[in-house]
Structure 1
């Protein structure tokens, strides 16, 4: 059914939504974006699902947007660019609005869109060895579609601390900023996630769904059109073209000292 993700559910109703492009560090390709959206809709509509774990195969949780996909958008016509940016925004919204508890098990690095995925989860546990960053500016890009969720998660002041420089942070700083709920040695991560699942299974699923929806209604809604438009404008910029070209050529971009 899916090629870039895996979806399984155990007898308790605990579903595992697994990013499965380990050879690409689970970067968000066009196909993965579509499949994650479909998976979120499927999970949300399944009354047997009580909790969803967002996990990943390989050494990385998610390296952000697939740069091959981004380069294709830079070369596409305006209508295609707008449509692809909107798909990314709608995928994040679908996960954010999932009427089930969504727990991230972050076993490895999460950059850019990877932090966006963490930010739409209700809580996230990370391995102490993992590294994180809003690294878009280092490539001439911006964290456009993930910005509303990052801001909701850590606030503007904290977001400025890392988004403007693109610097990498360790798991402890990610927890202090608010991305992670707990940091654990890698060998203890799975057991800790399992311990977080248990209380959700003791709660009434309808009440959980309505509480999550209420909290979302009381928060500012993400401006999907504005963030998609900002991403498209950045895709069209000379800096983005230079940053992505430099990445594939394995050289420093022109602005790098």
Structure 2
């Protein structure tokens, strides 16, 4: 796992490479936490996770989360939730087999780019589907029927089907990933801060929250947006005077 801070124009983006075949370890949790630290400290950063299975051909698939305990699982779920709530736009790039940490991280990201060889494989521990919050995110984002097929029966998901179900947002050739990543990062420019996090939360909560319960939060967000718009207009008029 490697973390880089690269400059793109007036932005410094945070990039983390993760081997999708790794089990759950303190090192993995720490790497994601460090990305969150950097994004929370840099208002204009875009977080980019590059997820690929780097195990050698013929290597048995790593059980997820591996030989660990519920305390580590709790720390992992907390850092995923933190990633999901960052005041920065997040982009995932996935290649090949997507299971274990790659799938868990992918579902916590704002925008997901995959290559045509992507195969989504729900994680198993022994013969049992892993019952982590992955199930919650899959059900929330793809619907109960799709999540049931994927998680209960271990159905592999092709890149095209992942795109259709919303697990992926875009497919791109493996030899030309830089262009769509740069385009997505450019679109994300300026989307930062607590207002981004609030809008993301409103979208995620919509699947499980009644209209009446959501109304107050949406009206509060609308009020803040209107106030900021008036402030910008007043500032522009003052500069023109």
* Runs of at least 5 residues in structure 2 that lack an aligned partner in the other structure: 56-60, 210-241
Alpha carbons of structure 1 residues 45 and 218: separation in structure 2 relative to 1, 3 Å? farther
Give the direction of change, closer, same or farther, for the CA distance of 1:113–1:151 in structure 2 (3 Å limit). Answer: farther
Is the Cα contact below 8 Å between 2:63 and 2:124 reproduced in 1?
A: no
Larger radius of gyration: 2
Give the secondary structure class of the aligned counterpart of 1:10. strand
Alignment counterpart, residue 89 of structure 1, candidates 61, 67, 77:
77
If the length of structure 1 is used for normalisation, what is the TM-score? 0.68
Q: Aligned equivalents of 2:204 and 2:130: distance in 1?
A: 25
Considering only aligned residues, what root-mean-square deviation do their CA atoms show, in Å?
A: 2.9
CA distance in 2, matches of 1:14, 1:133: 33
Q: Which runs of 5+ in 1 are unaligned?
A: 74-80, 222-257
- Written as runs of structure 1 = structure 2, the 5 A alignment for 1:137-152 is 139-152=127-140
State the shift of 1:123 in Å: 1.4
Do the aligned partners of residues 203 and 90 (structure 1) sit closer, same or farther apart at CA in structure 2, a change above 3 Å counting?
A: closer
In 1: Cα distance, 2:200 partner to 2:156 partner: 31
1:102-251 pair list within 5 angstroms: 102-136=90-124, 139-203=127-191, 207-216=195-204, 218=206, 220=208
User: Deviation of residue 103 (structure 1)?
Assistant: 0.8
Deviations 1:56-103 (A, max 9, x none): 36647xxxx9649632x3xxxxxxx33112111112111111111111
Asked whether the equivalents of residues 64 and 124 of structure 2 are also in contact (C-alpha less than 8 Å), the reply is: no
Q: Whole-Å Cα distance in 2 between the matches of residues 90 and 180 of structure 1?
A: 23
Tell me how many residue pairs correspond in the alignment: 203
2:50 corresponds in structure 1 to 55
Q: Distance in 1 between matches of 2:62 and 2:79?
A: 15
